[in-house]
Structure 1
């Protein structure tokens, strides 16, 4: 029985072959550069996809919250790193999880470090997050006083140990010159390693953004890479040059509920609660909330550019497709179309489960079948 016969409402499809190929390619790249790949599991958030990753030599993983870390505990990971400025209200939960799972957290100020010193009953590692231009979070790369205050505070505890420096160059998503940005990342992490390695000979440096990890080939002496989105990729990554559309591993199946041939539009059941509301805007100001692919027994096919159809607008449950002539000529009410997401991490988080092309449900931390 085809996986398509199981679908009656918006459903997130996953192509295991594409997903595995993406994981293998990034794993091979890390090995080529003598780096450890510690993927950020905020994209996949799945035990089963985690098992696929382990087949390619991946032994550690990153989470974006303690809730996600808890979901990943007990799955055989050597370490789970929580890559979000640590929320000290969760120290009791951290102690509970650290009894049976090696964990590390992100620290960006000495107050958090002191609260961990006072509250930890189990051994926990920490990275200092560095800001080298993104401006969202982290200790500024040149603020050695703050770095040293955090390190001195942590030394008061035999439970809290320093692992290294973490840098997420998130502005790679909207800065066209990724090589120039990566020069900043290499320089920042290289300088910090040189400055602190004699005191902390085991320290490692980690960089985390998918656009940079996918595009770059010069990582200097950075020890680890921690991209997340590469597992699935999406239209945003394709737009940045990090992947081809054929390398996007997930598509949202949406039912067609109405067709307006005069306006060249198709109404589908699929909106913001399924895709989130990330959007690409072209040079003419046209909004693109996802691109249409044609579903078949084996997955999906991507139309040629001149035959392209896309979601021009979405509301909570509705999506309006700006349809090509060939799609309008072939589509019927009750058909299923596929949508390549603009931001696959958010789409997966919204949907909370995946349907594989062999008709099996795959788990997701936000609630699975």
Structure 2
């Protein structure tokens, strides 16, 4: 496989990816919860099939376009976890006539517009904000929730599925336990308030840091993380996983080595890795961690760290360890573990396994 690579190529280690999926499915089962993974990271039918093999039947996506890509492939329901865009209602109706869908609502105005124009049966979750602040109805504002429910009830095709929280601030603070406590309490309070009228409603929480490290989810019904399938260097820093759990690596050719500067130039820049960045203790930037690529085998984590210190459109400059400088030559391939695997996968639009099998990606589909 490696000898055929001539330009930046995203590799996926099937064994690691399957292990990550199985581990999260086992955690959900242990707590009597459903795992409904977010496919925004993998965006792949084949990875979806790996998920189906551990019993997953419903998935989450982040756009109507992604829902269309996954539709009619045997998924019981596809949930679009982004505040619904009413300009897409006609396209949504068409897809919902073929595939069971649900959407995310955050205000009564959009709910009213959807209720007026919905022609195919669909469900909805109300997104709740319990502290993140990005989007959603603040959980204390039940008057807004009541307005959303009243507007939705005007169309019998519209069914309330429950409450959804994405506590994305778990990416930015070490107090994941505290974040989960506030999220769990908010969901529990809302469920208790509305379950008499809506006895089938569920509560769902979806963020990889919390779903990875927590082992007490209280009475939450469903887990909905996405990045856990691949993980990345950001998740390592948070404590969600180890470098050995990262399932994707960008293979890049070495085009120049400056031993005296301790730098290596690779063909692999922002259009391949994205420009997501972490910061080293000295304030320097890190765009990805270097690994060694081995033919027909998983990549190997070096004993001495090397990382991508800067990127432009096509260029990447690696701050190289002595070990790396001694092991590689111009023309060799090295691997880069991404800072944000979702964005790197979206940039690259396809994968290859370490054995050369092509893995599809929604953005690369014709």
Q: Under TM normalisation by the shorter chain, which class is it? A: over 0.9
Give the Cα separation in 1 of the matches to 2:332 and 2:365.
25
2:268 corresponds in structure 1 to 270
1:179 corresponds in structure 2 to 177
Contact 1:362/1:368 (8 A) holds in 2:
no
1:111 corresponds in structure 2 to 109
2:322 corresponds in structure 1 to 325
> Please, which runs of 5 or more residues in structure 1 have no aligned partner?
none
Question: Counterpart of 1:20 in 2: which secondary structure?
Answer: helix
2:188 corresponds in structure 1 to 190
1:299 corresponds in structure 2 to 298
Q: How does 1:254-265 map to 2 (within 5 A)?
A: 254-265=252-263
Question: Counterpart of 1:199 in 2: which secondary structure?
Answer: coil
1:315 to 312, 316, 319: 312
Give the Cα separation in 2 of the matches to 1:326 and 1:242.
28
1:363 to 333, 341, 360: 360
> Please, which runs of 5 or more residues in structure 2 have no aligned partner?
none
1:72 corresponds in structure 2 to 70
Give the Cα separation in 2 of the matches to 1:133 and 1:317.
38
2:161 corresponds in structure 1 to 163
Q: How does 1:101-140 map to 2 (within 5 A)?
A: 101-140=99-138
Cα RMSD, aligned residues only: 0.8
1:340 to 326, 337, 341: 337
**Could you tell me how far 1:344 is from its partner in structure 2?**
0.3
Contact 1:16/1:249 (8 A) holds in 2:
yes
- Divergent runs of 4+, >6 A: none
Question: Counterpart of 2:326 in 1: which secondary structure?
Answer: helix
Give the Cα separation in 2 of the matches to 1:139 and 1:197.
18
Give the Cα separation in 2 of the matches to 1:316 and 1:268.
12
Q: Does 1:56 align with 2:73?
A: no
Question: Counterpart of 1:278 in 2: which secondary structure?
Answer: coil
Give the Cα separation in 1 of the matches to 2:208 and 2:280.
22
State how many pairs are aligned.
365
Give the Cα separation in 2 of the matches to 1:194 and 1:330.
61
Q: String of CA shifts for 1:70-111, please: whole Å, max 9, x gaps.
A: 000011100000000000010111111111110000000111
**Could you tell me how far 1:282 is from its partner in structure 2?**
2.2
TM-score between the two structures when normalised by the length of structure 1 = 0.98
- Taking structure 1 as reference, are residues 68 and 346 closer, same or farther at Cα in structure 2, changes over 3 Å only? same
Q: String of CA shifts for 1:327-368, please: whole Å, max 9, x gaps.
A: 111211100000000000000000000011111111000005
Question: Counterpart of 2:216 in 1: which secondary structure?
Answer: coil
**Could you tell me how far 1:114 is from its partner in structure 2?**
0.7
Question: Counterpart of 1:366 in 2: which secondary structure?
Answer: helix
Q: String of CA shifts for 1:238-287, please: whole Å, max 9, x gaps.
A: 11110010010000000001011110000000011001111111222121
2:24 to 23, 26, 35: 26
Contact 1:114/1:153 (8 A) holds in 2:
yes
Give the Cα separation in 2 of the matches to 1:213 and 1:288.
25
